[in-house]
Amino acid sequence: MPTAQRTPRFTSVLSALALCAPMLLGSAWAAGTAPQSQLLAAAQREQAPLLKSLEQFVNIETGSRELAGLKQLAAVLAERLRALGGEVELLAPSEVYRMEDTPEELGQHVKAVFRGKGSKKILLIAHMDTVYPAGMLARQPFGIREDRAYGLGIADDKQGLATVLHLLAVLKSLNFEDYGQITVLFNADEEISSPGSRAILTRLGAEHDAVMSFEGSGATADHLSLATAGIASVNLTVHGRATHAGGAPQFGVNALYELSHQVLQMRDLSDPLTGVKLNWTMAKAGIVRNMIPPLATAEADVRVLRVQDYDALEQKLQQRIQNRLLPEARVELKFERRRPPLEVTPVSQAFAEHARRVYAELGLQLRIDAVAAGGGTDAAFAGLRARGPVVERFGLRGAGAHTSDAEYVLISSIVPRLYLAAGMVMAFSRGEVPVQP
């Protein structure tokens, strides 16, 4: 995919897109459905401002370890949320779950609370950080080509930030205050497994009646997700003893031999029936060719669909390492729970089914994914103790996440997805969604 070029006359492009918006949704009337006219008009008004927000956010580099960029974007988002009427806090991570790759310092999170006149409490989440180190923006600056807006991190997850902000703008323009409380959390560490935000996500998820997460929807089909995979890692370290490989190998303890034995005896722990996947993906051993290796390491990727499967798998791993090929070798195993799975619940299914009906008002189909596809998101942390629905992928449609020059969102998805997200906030606030949190 060629890199998008910045459109010189940006405002004229936006004007043309605004004129085309009704045509993009023309099938709604053709299908005989009845969109909520005020809501649709409000969503259409936000399309051009949302694109401007995307340009602003993309042009701030916010890799998970780029603290200056994260601080800059947090300040921008805090200002925008205050302008919309939110009570805003910048939160320094205070409960950090440290993993092998957790930076010493983490970026601040942005929290905003909007108080309404109703009773329902809704949590909206998205993340500020990307996977890209500083300097990569030059390879993919913001730009528009036909129906695609390109930019580094635009799909994952700058669009989520923009969708939440402009969803709130839609509600404000309609003077909608039937909710009890809307809480927004933009965290700064999702791409590194949320070490500094998982605790607050879990706490807020338990305190709210519904959670809407704004990772992007796919480019090929509109969908929401009710389940995501849990992600863990296994770090295996074998300590042996170095000796001359040619002169006295018998006096050494070959860490590579022991590591090979351990990996081979733990290659059968995947279970298709439960969705557990364990795959050894990286290994390293030795110092020089003519030395018996005193140290060897390996890493495995783990995916689960149920929180309970973590305990059973870790127990099996610890039992397996007791069986050693070389009795003098010392074997250490570290099991890191990087992200829990989001599991399907009846209340989430009911919430998503209502979303399907809201989307049908535009003559559009919404796919509901109840089986995890392999990836994990912050919705799972929010869902750990939640009583109400937790639903993922309320963001824009797009693709190319984690690529260096092909990440984009579909401009034609802005109005429908704003209509969907705002429509669900309104319906849930009014008690129209048949769930019992």
The Cα 90–Cα 71 span in angstroms is 10
Q: Are residues 144 and 278 in the same domain?
A: no
Residue 308 forms part of a structural domain = yes
Two structure tokens written together for 163: 């969708």
Task: Write the pLDDT tens digit of every residue in 209-246.
Answer: 999 999 999 888 899 999 999 999 999 999 999 999 99
Determine, yes or no, domain membership for 434. no
Concatenating the DSSP letter of every residue in 64-123 gives: TT-HHHHHHHHHHHHHHHHHTT-EEEEE---S----TT--SS---EEEEEEE-SSS-EEE
- Domain finish residue from 314, 339, 364: 339
pLDDT range class, residue 6, cuts 50, 70, 90: very low
Task: Specify whether 14 is located in the same domain as 147.
Answer: yes
Residues 91 and 215 occupy one common structural domain: yes
Per-residue pLDDT tens digits for 69-84: 999 999 999 999 999 9
Round the average pLDDT of the chain to a whole number and report it.
Answer: 92
129 is catalytic: yes
Please report whether residue 54 resides in a domain: yes
As to burial, measured by CB atoms within 10 angstroms (0-12 exposed, 13-18 middle, 19+ buried), residue 147 is middle
Which structural domain, as residue segments, surrounds residue 289? 230-339
Domain boundary among 339, 359, 387: 339
Q: Are 246 and 208 in a shared domain?
A: no
In a domain, 205, yes or no: yes
**Domain check: are 36 and 130 in the same one?**
yes
Provide the whole-model pTM.
0.88
Helix axes 159-173, 67-83, angle to 10 degrees: 10
Q: Are residues 148 and 79 in the same domain?
A: yes
Alpha carbons 115 and 319: distance in angstroms, whole number: 52
Q: What is the mean pLDDT of residues 186-212?
A: 98
How many domains are there within the chain? 2
Over 80: is that where the pLDDT of 25 sits? no
325 lies in the same domain as 356: no
The answer to the question of residue 417 being in a domain is: yes
* 184 and 121 within one domain: yes
Residue 5 lies in a domain: no
* Residues 77 and 191 both lie in one domain: yes
The phi, psi pair for 244, rounded to 5°, reads -70, 125
> Which of 339, 354, 371 is the C-terminal boundary of a domain?
339
Q: Is residue 26 part of a domain?
A: yes
- The CA-to-CA distance between both ends of the chain, in Å, stands at 45
For residue 125, give the CATH number of its domain.
3.40.630.10
Same-domain check for residues 374 and 315: no
Catalytic: which of 55, 61, 190, 369? 190
Q: Is a pLDDT exceeding 90 seen at residue 16? A: no
Report the CATH number that the domain containing residue 243 is assigned in CATH.
3.30.70.360
User: Which residue among 129, 156, 191, 369 is the active-site one?
Assistant: 129
Give the span between the Cα atoms of 378 and 77, in whole angstroms.
Answer: 19
Residues 188 and 320 in one domain: no
pLDDT > 90: percent of the chain: 86
CB 326 within 8 A of CB 241: no
Assess whether 291 and 359 both reside in one domain. no
